[in-house]
Every structure is written in C-alpha cells, then in structure tokens.
C-alpha cells in the first residue's frame, strides 16, 4: 500500500507553491500542530520529492508556472492515489477549479487568502478521513484472511463434530451406567450398615427404617432439595450406628431409667457415629445430621448443646422423626406410648425440644396418613381453629378446670388460650375433635 500513515505515526505534509512567502507561512502554521513539513516551489519539484519521500497529504497552489495545480494533482492521483490532495486557489476561475476537482480528485479546495483555523481543520479532517479509510481497508483485508482461514478449518468440521459427539455420547452413557452402579452400590452399603444395627434385635428391629420413612416425608413437606432430602434419608438409616458397641440390655431400657454413667455412654453415640462416617466422602452432608440429631431447639440437648437455627436443618427433622418412633418403642420415657400419645408428646414439646415448623409439618403428615385416631387430636393453642370441640376437660397446671369437655372453640377463646400459654411460659395441650 502506498499510503503508510497509521494512527500513531506523525503525518507528513507536502506544500507546493511558487511563492516562498506563502510556503513559509504555511510551514509555520502546520509545524506548530506536530506535522512533518516538506515544501516545493513547483509541481515538478513536488513530484521529485514524492519519488523520494512518503507523503500523507499535499496542499498545492492552483496557479504555478510550467505545471499548474490541476496537472500536478492529477499526476499525484495517478502515481500516489493514497495521498490526500487539497487545492489552494487564489483566483475566481470556477472552470479551472472544477477541472482540478475532476482530474485530480481532490479532497477539498481552499480559497486564498485562507483562514488559519479553517485550513488547519480541513487538513485534520482529511487526515482523519484517510486514517478511517486505511483502517477499514486493513480490517477488511484482515477479515478476508481470517475468513479464508476459517473456511479451511471448517472443511470437514461437521464430520469431525459428529464423530466427536458420538464419542462423547458413548462416554456419557458409560459414565451414567457407572454412576448408577456406584449409587446402587453405595445405597446397598448403607442398607447393610443400617441392617447391622437392627440385627441386634430387640426394640431396635425396624427402627431405622421407620425413622427414615418419617424423615423422608418430613423433608419433602418442608421443601428440602433433592440433595438435602437424600442426606436426611441416609442420616435416618444410620443415626444409631454409634450404638453398635453398647450392650443389648442398655439398648432396650428407657434412657431416663439408665444409671448416670451408662446414660453418659449412650449420649456419646452421636459423636461415635459421626466419626465412623467421617472418612466416607459421600457422607459429607450426613455426618453433621448424625452428630446433632439429639440436639434440642432450646439448647438442652447433646452432644454440643446447640440451639435454634444453629442445629442443622436435617438434624431438626431427624430429631422429631426419631423421637416419635422411640417414644412408641419405650426407650425414651418410662413406658411405651401409643401413637396418639407420642404425637401429643411431640406437640407438647414444640418450641422446647423441637423446632415449631418441623412439629407443625410432622403433625400434618401424621394426620394425613391416618396413623393415629384423628377424631381426637392433641393441639397447642396456636394450632386451634374455630369450630373444634374439646374431647377432654382442659385443666390448669394447678388442677382447676379451665374448659369443660365439649366446649366449642371460637376466635376469642383461642386468643385467650394463646395468651395464657405465653404468659405462663408452659405448653398447653388440648385434645379436640376436628371441625367438620
């Protein structure tokens, strides 16, 4: 390309005029704008300079001896077409100017005497215009080369993509099959570990599986995502694995009836279970649930006396599911409770041992599955609804009658009961018939 200037280079200007004073004036004007200036006092001298020097822009006078501006600029256009051409005319010869424009394809003409600001701006615009043309040409050539390269690269690409896609799909199928086999093997191993606990016989038989089903249903009702629900299920199956080393006699006795030293040993089973599972990568989310399934909402549990939201969400679910079954087994309090009595215990300890939201979800789950006599429901005041009728007398903790059997609940009575429970700081449990 004949035109070599880029956006970083210093522009070279060639000034052609047969009057030295004009050349001197133009030189002073453009040098202060950082341009490199060449001058010639005739068209022939200008052509000789162009032979030796790369020039970005020419300003030529129209009237010069031997070779006028029209002929000079026409030669420049033919031999150096990338050089910008500006005509400087000092007489009102419209015909000559039009001829110069047509033959020399000049960028612009400027009349003498010129305005300094106007001629500087004209030159600046001309150079900017050519820079854009140059950059567009450069980018066009670059794009063409890149398109040709891309065309060459795309030759046969569809076939290569198809082959690679088939390979990837086959690999994914193998990986999916391997993943399913690993998953099935892992779950089978969990079932084996869970079965080891139940092989001890006695009251532990079937306990882990029942707790797992309750916990799974609770997690679903509480909106756990699939991964969290899976962790809850696995933790439920393995929550008692730390009891493997305990004697059979200890496992079948109510926790509250055990001697202090034996009770302390039993209380270590969540930590032991967590330690047993800690080395299994897939159990990362299960370990904290096993460790903390005996923590209480009010901070009175073990092993770390966590309270409230500091207890992992899955452990809060597992605590309710585990205690509901343990109460019926008779290994938590002094006797085996019936299902409705176990549910009443859970409800009564809402906000104490158990998270309120988990209790409410568990109550709804038990009611829906009809595993207790739902004609008589144990409820706290916050769960009462207008229209429910008392199935038993409601006695105050000091022994006097608050409400008689058969009393129908309304909004005012429910509000009074809620205020009474709140002011005394003790739970109220009412046995009611559901509203029809």
CATH number at residue 334: 1.10.3210.10
Res 8: pLDDT: 44
Q: How many CB atoms are located within 10 Å of the residue 401 CB? A: 10
Q: What is the DSSP letter of 213?
A: H
Nearest to 258 by CA among 201, 269, 208: 269
Q: CB neighbours of 340 closer than 8 A, spacing ≥ 6?
A: 372, 373, 376, 378
Together in a domain, 133 and 203: no
φ, ψ of residue 88 to 5 degrees: the values are: -110, 110
**Domain membership flag for residue 311:** yes
Q: How many CB atoms are located within 10 Å of the residue 332 CB? A: 20
Res 175: pLDDT: 53
Tokens at residue 190, please? 């969990």
Res 232: pLDDT: 93
**Domain membership flag for residue 7:** no
Q: Domain holding 395: CATH number?
A: 3.90.105
Assess contact for 29 and 119: CB atoms under 8 A.
yes
Res 3: pLDDT: 44
**Domain membership flag for residue 365:** yes
Together in a domain, 314 and 387: no
Residues of the chain with pLDDT under 70: 1-9, 91-100, 102-104, 156, 158, 168, 171-205, 370-375, 434-436
Res 12: pLDDT: 93
Res 103: pLDDT: 67
Rounded CA gap, 319 and 312, in Å?
Answer: 11
Q: Tell me if residue 413 falls in helix, strand or coil.
A: helix
**Domain membership flag for residue 5:** no
Q: What's the structural domain count of the chain?
A: 3
Together in a domain, 224 and 296: yes
Q: What angle (nearest 5°) sits at the alpha carbon of residue 407, between those of residues 405 and 408?
A: 140
The domain in which residue 281 lies consists of 172-374
Assess contact for 224 and 232: CB atoms under 8 A.
yes
Together in a domain, 362 and 244: yes
Q: Are strands 12-16 and 389-390 parallel, antiparallel or unpaired?
A: unpaired
Res 166: pLDDT: 74
Together in a domain, 186 and 148: no
**Domain membership flag for residue 1:** no
């Amino acid at each position: 390309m004949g035109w070599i200037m880029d956006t970083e280079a210093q522009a070279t200007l060639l000034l052609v005029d047969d009057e030295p004073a004009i050349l001197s004036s133009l030189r002073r004007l453009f040098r202060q704008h950082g341009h490199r200036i060449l001058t010639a006092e005739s068209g022939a001298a200008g052509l000789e300079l162009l032979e030796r020097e790369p020039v970005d822009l020419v300003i030529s006078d129209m009237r010069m001896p031997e070779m006028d501006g029209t002929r000079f600029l026409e030669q420049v256009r033919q031999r150096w077409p990338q050089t910008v051409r500006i005509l400087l005319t000092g007489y009102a010869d419209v015909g000559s100017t039009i001829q110069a424009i047509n033959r020399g394809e000049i960028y612009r003409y400027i009349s003498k005497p010129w305005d300094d600001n106007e001629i500087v701006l004209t030159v600046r615009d001309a150079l900017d215009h050519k820079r854009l043309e140059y950059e567009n040409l450069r980018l066009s050539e670059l794009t063409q080369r890149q398109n040709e390269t891309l065309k060459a690269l795309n030759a046969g690409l569809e076939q290569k993509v198809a082959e690679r896609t088939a390979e990837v799909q086959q690999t994914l199928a193998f990986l999916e099959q391997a993943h399913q086999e690993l998953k099935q093997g892992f779950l089978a191993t969990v079932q084996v570990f869970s079965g080891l606990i139940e092989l001890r016989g006695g009251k532990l038989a079937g306990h882990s599986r029942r707790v797992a089903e309750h916990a799974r249903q609770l997690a679903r009702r509480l909106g756990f995502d699939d991964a969290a629900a899976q962790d809850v299920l696995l933790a439920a199956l393995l929550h008692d694995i730390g009891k493997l080393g305990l004697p059979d006699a200890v496992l079948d006795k109510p926790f509250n009836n055990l001697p202090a030293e034996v009770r302390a040993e039993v209380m270590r089973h969540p930590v032991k279970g967590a330690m047993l599972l800690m080395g299994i990568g897939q159990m990362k989310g299960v370990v904290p649930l096993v460790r903390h399934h005996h923590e209480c909402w009010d901070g009175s549990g073990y092993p770390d006396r966590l309270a409230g939201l500091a207890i992992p969400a899955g452990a809060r679910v597992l605590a309710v599911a585990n205690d509901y079954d343990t109460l019926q087994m008779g290994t938590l309090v002094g006797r085996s409770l019936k299902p409705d009595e176990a549910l009443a215990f859970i409800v009564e300890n809402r906000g104490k041992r158990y998270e309120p939201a988990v209790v409410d979800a568990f109550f709804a789950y038990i009611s829906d599955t009809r595993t207790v006599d739902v004609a008589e429901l144990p409820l706290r005041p916050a769960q009462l609804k207008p229209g429910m009728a008392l199935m038993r007398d409601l006695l105050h903790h000091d022994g006097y009658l608050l409400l008689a059997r058969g009393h129908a609940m309304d909004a005012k009575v429910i509000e009074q009961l809620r205020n009474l429970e709140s002011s005394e700081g003790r739970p109220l449990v009412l046995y009611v018939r559901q509203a029809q």
